[in-house]
Structure 1
Amino acid sequence: MLIKKNKDNQLCQAVVNTLNKTLPNTLIPSSCSPFGDSPGVHQLNISGVGFFDVLCDSQLAGPGWIVIQQRVGGNEDFNRDWATYRNGFGSFESDFFLGLEKIHRITSLQRYELYIHLVAVNGRTYNARYDDFKISDEDNGYAMSLGKFNGTIIDDAMRDSENMKFETSDSENDGFGDYYSCADINKSGWWYNFCINCNLNVPYWQNLSWYSIDLKEVKMLIRPKGSDEEVSN
C-alpha cells in the first residue's frame, strides 16, 4: 500500500510539474486588451509566431492598443529590405516597425481596428480610424485592407493603399518592373499605389505627410474591434 501511495504521489507531482511549465504560457494573451490601463512593453503569444514583445498603449485612444509602427523623431532607417520588414525592426523607445508577419498573424485572429495618431509640424494633432484592418499573408504580399474610415482628420489618405501589396526596394510587388519603384524613390517600405499622398514610413526629410499636412510624429495602433471606449486625441 505504501508503494502505491508513493507511485500516486509521484504521478501527482509529475502532473503539477507539467502544469507549472505550461500554465504560464497559456496565460500569455494574444492582444494588449488584458493589460487594460497598464501601458508599456508586454509579451504576447501568437500562433505561428510564438512569444514576442509589443508596446501597449492606453493613453492615446483608450486601453488595449498594440503599437505596430512609431515615428517620434528618431534616427531609425526605414529603408529596409523585405526580410527586415517581415521580421520587424527598431526600438520601442524610439522609431520602430513591429513586423509584417506579426501584424498578419495578429489581425488574422479576429477583427481589428486601426488607429493612427498624427502630430503635424505645427503641433496640431489628428487621428484617423479604420474599423476592419488586416493584412494578408506573405504569399499574397501582405496586402492591406482597412474597413470604414472616420477621425478628426478630413482626408482618408490611407485609402489609396487599400488592397495594395507591401513593397520594399528588393521586392517584386511594385508592378512597374525594374525601371520604377516607389520604394526606391521614397527610401522606405509601404503599401504603395501612388508614390506620394500618404507614406508613414518615409524619411523625415522626404515628405512625411498626410496629403498636404506635414508631420513630425506618427503612431499606428491596432486592437480587437468591439471596444466601446471613447477615442480621443
Structure 2
Amino acid sequence: MDNKKSNEDLLGEHNSTSVIECAARCQRECNFYGFNPQTNKCRTHTKVFKSGMLNEGGWRYYSHVFIPVDCKDLQLDGYFNSGVYEIYPNGTITSPVQAYCDMTIMGGGWTAIQKRISGSLEFNRNWTEYKNGFGSPVQDVWVGNDVIHQLTKENNPALYVSITLQNGTTLYEMYDRFFVSDEAGKYQLFLAGPATGTLGDAMLDTRHSSSSLSGMYFSTPDRDNDGASGFNCAAYSEIRGGWWFNYCHMAFLNGPWSPQSWINPWSPTVQSGTSVKGTTMMVRRH
C-alpha cells in the first residue's frame, strides 16, 4: 500500500468538530479517514495508508469503522437475516438505535419504524414518548419521531405498510417517497406516490381531501396539530394515539388495540380493529 496521499485517493476535506464526526463522514466508499485536532479538519480517502503518515502535520489517520445508518447499510454489508440490529441513523457511533430489519420482503433492507404483533403495548402516548420512541423492536414498537426524521431527511425513502388480518392474510401498500420533518417542523409528513399494493391507498389520494395525510403535522393527545377545528383527533375517544391526522383519517395504525374502538385502521379495506392481527411500517432508501 502507498504511504503517501494522492488527489485520486482523497474524497474530500471538511471542517469537523471531532474525530467522531469525522468518522461519520466516512461512508461506504471511504476506507480511511484523517482528523487534525489543530485545525478541526477531516479528510476521507479511498485507500488505507501505512503508519508513516501518522505524524504528518498534526494529522492522525484511522481505518474506517463501519457505521450502519439503516438496515439497507447492513444488507449491503452482508447481513441477510431478518432480526434486531444496532443502527446509527444520525451517523455517529454515540447514538445507537435498536431496530428491526426485514431482509426478505421485496428484496429486503427495510428498517421498521412501527411494528405491532401482540397488542400488548399501549400506543396512547404523549408527544415526548412519540418523539423518543417506545416499546421493543422484538415485538411492538414505535422507533421514535426523531429517528424517523433522521432515517428520511436525506433519502426520501420508500414506505412499506402492511396489515396482517386475523385469518393470517397480509395486505400491503408501498409508497415511493416518505419524509418526516424534525420536531421544530412538528414532524410534518410528506408522502408521494405511486402507491401500489393490495391494501389500497388510504394515506395519499383518498376519497376525501380532508383525510389525505401528506403535509399533515404529527399530533398526540397532548399536542393538537391536526386539520380538524374544535377538537383534537389524537385525543378523541375512538382514536387515542399519535398520528399525522387531518380531519381525522382514513388510515391510522396506532389505534387502540381493543377492537370495539379502533375505527378505520385502513379504510375501506380494513374498517375495524376486529380484523387486525398485526401492523408494520418500514422504510428503505432508494
Same fold (TM over 0.5): yes
Instruction: Give, in whole Å, the separation in 1 of the partners of 2:106 and 2:117.
Output: 17
> Relative to structure 1, is the Cα distance of residues 176 and 34 closer, same or farther in structure 2, using a 3 angstrom cutoff?
closer
> Relative to structure 1, is the Cα distance of residues 89 and 154 closer, same or farther in structure 2, using a 3 angstrom cutoff?
closer
Amino acid at match of 2:86: Q
What does 1:213-224 align with in structure 2 at a 5 Å threshold? 213=270, 214-224=275-285
- Contact kept? 2:149, 2:179, Cα under 8 Å: yes
What is the deviation of 1:70? 0.4
Instruction: Give, in whole Å, the separation in 2 of the partners of 1:123 and 1:130.
Output: 23
Give aligned pairs, total.
209
Q: Percent identity?
A: 33
- Contact kept? 2:227, 2:246, Cα under 8 Å: no
1:123 aligns with 2:168: yes
- Contact kept? 2:156, 2:177, Cα under 8 Å: yes
Structure 1 runs, 4 residues or longer, greater than 4 Å off: none
Match of 2:67 in 1: 28
> Relative to structure 1, is the Cα distance of residues 100 and 71 closer, same or farther in structure 2, using a 3 angstrom cutoff?
same
Q: Deviations over 1:119-178 (max 9, x none)?
A: 12333221100111010111111111111033332531012211100000111313556x
Amino acid at match of 2:262: N
Instruction: Give, in whole Å, the separation in 2 of the partners of 1:200 and 1:92.
Output: 16
Instruction: Give, in whole Å, the separation in 2 of the partners of 1:172 and 1:187.
Output: 12
Match of 2:83 in 1: 40
What does 1:1-233 align with in structure 2 at a 5 Å threshold? 19=62, 23-24=64-65, 27-36=66-75, 37-47=80-90, 50-153=95-198, 155-159=200-204, 160-174=212-226, 176=228, 179-185=230-236, 186-205=239-258, 206-207=261-262, 209-212=265-268, 213=270, 214-225=275-286
- Contact kept? 1:72, 1:218, Cα under 8 Å: yes
What is the deviation of 1:115? 0.6
TM score, norm. by length of structure 2: 0.66
Instruction: Give, in whole Å, the separation in 2 of the partners of 1:154 and 1:85.
Output: 25
> Which deviates more from structure 2 when the two are superposed, residues 168-177 or residues 155-164?
168-177
SS, match of residue 148 in structure 1: strand
- Contact kept? 2:69, 2:88, Cα under 8 Å: yes
- Contact kept? 1:74, 1:94, Cα under 8 Å: no
SS, match of residue 203 in structure 2: helix
Amino acid at match of 2:168: G
TM score, norm. by length of structure 1: 0.80
Gaps of 5+ in 2: 1-50, 205-211
> Relative to structure 1, is the Cα distance of residues 115 and 202 closer, same or farther in structure 2, using a 3 angstrom cutoff?
same
> Relative to structure 1, is the Cα distance of residues 170 and 19 closer, same or farther in structure 2, using a 3 angstrom cutoff?
same
Amino acid at match of 1:130: Y
What is the deviation of 1:40? 1.4
SS, match of residue 84 in structure 1: helix
Higher relative contact order (CA 8 A, sep 6+): 1
Gaps of 5+ in 1: 1-7, 226-233
Instruction: Give, in whole Å, the separation in 2 of the partners of 1:111 and 1:84.
Output: 24
Q: What RMSD, in angstroms, separates the aligned Cα atoms of the two structures?
A: 2.5
